[in-house]
Amino acid sequence: MSLRHAVLGLLERRPSTGYELTQTFDRSLRTSWQARHSQIYPELAKLEAAGLVEVVGHGARRSKTYAITPTGRAELRRWLVEAQPDRSQRNESGLRLFLTPLLEQADRRATYQRDLAHVEHELSALKELRSGMAPATDPEVFAPQVELGIRINGVLRDWLLEQIDRAGEPEGSHQ
């Protein structure tokens, strides 16, 4: 049940409305955790009922601003520091990479090429982000996280280039 803690974490950074949280999920958490507004609003209601967050203001258009409570802060800390992390993940890209060797040479190459194009795109977007970041930066984005993204995508790019290279050899020639 990570959604709850993702919301608590974002509210620990700053009080927000459900609408703002929805945007933050999409902007900053896209790569590790997603949530639509249809999930966020009910979760905020549950968190409020449990006393982990509270409404601290009403704005235009019936908007409600939520803030984390001391209880919520304690629960967030407990989850981050004491709870057994769930290391499992679910990503279709990893599955595809695992199955791609089953394809015949031409398809395999094409598939790797497509993945490479995507990785290059991610990479340039992240580098763009890094270069445009003020010294004391947009609190939305943490510099080390961006750096990690760049490095992982770099490794992926190199690996894909090697696979494409190998797929250029005659079928079965890689002993």
- Give the residues lining the site for a second copy (CB under 8 A): 2, 5-6, 9, 12-13, 28-34, 76-77, 80-81, 85-103, 107, 110-111, 114-115, 118, 135-136, 142, 144-145, 147-148, 151-152, 155-156, 158-159, 162-163, 166, 175
- Contact set for DNA, span 25-54 (CB under 7 A): 34-39, 41-42, 44-45
**Nearest one of 81, 72, 61, 57 to 13, comparing CA atoms:** 72
Residues linked to residue 67 through DSSP beta bridges, in sequence order: 54
CA 23 to chain CA mean position, Å? 13
Picked from DNA, a second copy, none, the partner binding residue 17 (CB below 5 to 8 A depending on kind) is DNA
Fill in the amino acid letter for 120. Answer: E
**Residues whose CB falls within 8 Å of the CB of residue 81, separated by 6 or more in sequence, listed in order:** none
Q: Is 148 in the site for DNA (CB under 7 A)?
A: no
Compare residues 58 and 96 and give the one whose CB is closer to a second copy. 96
Which contiguous run of DSSP H or E holds residue 13? helix 2-13
- Contact set for DNA, span 88-147 (CB under 7 A): 88, 90
Q: Is 59 in the site for DNA (CB under 7 A)?
A: yes
CA gap 169, 126 in Å, rounded:
33
Q: Contact at 8 Å (CB) between 15 and 58?
A: no
Q: Which residues bind DNA (CB under 7 A)?
A: 1-3, 17-20, 22, 34-39, 41-42, 44-45, 59-64, 88, 90
